[in-house]
Structure 1
Amino acid sequence: MKSLARILSAAGLVLGLALAGVPAGAQQPPPLKPGSPAAIAAAKEILAMKNASSMYANAVPNIVQQTKDALLQSNLNYQKDLNEVAVIVAQSLAGREKEIGEGMAKVYANEFTEQELKDLVAFYKSPLGQKLLSTEPRAIQFSMSYMNQWAQSFAEVVNAQFRAEMRKRGKEI
């Protein structure tokens, strides 16, 4: 499961980097249409079968840590206090990561009809759906590995073209 979380974090990073070049206005999704209680329940069941909570299980402590680290950069003399406050803040906000799961269920209920969600639940309960649930993390891991290898190789091609074009201009880089 830890490897799945790392894979999904990497996928999120890749997606985040891909979206970094998109204008800020284009990044905001339209407001969600409210899903029926049955659609949201089916979406939650799908997310549970996919163990989606592993993606965000450590969201609160991670954000607390990131915030503490950022504050420490400009307040080194408060390190002891910030370390103590981080524990208090993490404890007071524990469990808030469940809001992510609620939001994800609403997104699914917005993107799929109630019947489609019920059909997806039935699919994931089928032998093929079970196989997909069990093998998809590995397929994603291998896909991410392939994508990273491709990107590294392609970056070398791009670098070579830059150097060739600069050489044409009489400039070695």
Structure 2
Amino acid sequence: MNTVSRILSAAGLVLGLALAGMPATAQTPSEVKPASPAAIAAAKEILAMKNASAMYANAVPNIVQRTKDSLLQSNLNYQKDLNEVAVIVAQKLAGREKEIGDGMAKLYAGEFTEQELKDLVAFYKSPLGQKLLTTEPKAIQMSMGYMNQWAQGFAEVVNGEFRAEMRKRGKEI
């Protein structure tokens, strides 16, 4: 059941990004379509309204921590040094997560025209757009909860079917 939870968590992240209007497919920098500064600015405004920075706000400290943990596995005798170096590295690289937001804005600006982005900004400033911005995260969270609940129930059905088919073969599992 743990595997099902991990799969659903990953699926949930993808669904959440898709529902939040994020690109579902990764693009390499060479695939990003060029966009005007005004389009990029409008995309940044949309991302700010959607509070997209919350998704990557802890990217730098999390990556520093993961790197430190990885290095500790094969260098236990350097634990004190690695803990001290992690603080230095985190401070040195603080703020670099903003690169993610800049990249996301360029991706948006490459997928929408400047006018479409301006129309989206206007929409998100409208009463319906404001309602979407405030209620969509809750709707996504509730949807994810429903998906997890459904998957758990369905996994039990699948398990029952496996057991029934194996019983037909004279094998109890």
CA distance in 1, matches of 2:65, 2:26: 26
Change (3 A) 1:72 1:90: same
CA distance in 2, matches of 1:17, 1:131: 23
**Counterpart of 1:103?**
103
Q: How does 1:36-51 map to 2 (within 5 A)?
A: 36-51=36-51
Change (3 A) 1:172 1:17: farther
Amino acid of the structure 2 residue aligned with 1:55:
M
Which of 16, 20, 29 does residue 27 from structure 2 map onto?
Answer: 29
TM-score by length of 1: 0.83
Identity of aligned residues (%): 81
Q: How does 1:80-95 map to 2 (within 5 A)?
A: 80-95=80-95
CA RMSD of aligned residues (A): 2.1
Runs of 4+ in 1 over 3 A off after TM superposition: 15-18, 27-30
Any conservation in 1 of the 2:39–2:109 contact (CA below 8 Å)? Answer: yes
Amino acid of the structure 2 residue aligned with 1:43:
A
Q: Deviations over 1:52-71 (max 9, x none)?
A: 11111100000111111111
Any conservation in 1 of the 2:8–2:148 contact (CA below 8 Å)? Answer: no
Change (3 A) 1:28 1:129: closer
Q: How does 1:7-86 map to 2 (within 5 A)?
A: 13-14=10-11, 29=27, 31-86=31-86
Change (3 A) 1:17 1:162: farther
Question: What is the DSSP-based 3-state SS (H/G/I as helix, E as strand, rest coil) of the residue aligned with 2:27?
Answer: coil
CA distance in 1, matches of 2:9, 2:108: 18
Change (3 A) 1:32 1:15: farther
What is the CA distance between 1:116 and its match in structure 2?
0.8
**Counterpart of 1:150?**
150
Amino acid of the structure 2 residue aligned with 1:90:
A
Amino acid of the structure 2 residue aligned with 1:164:
A
Change (3 A) 1:98 1:11: farther
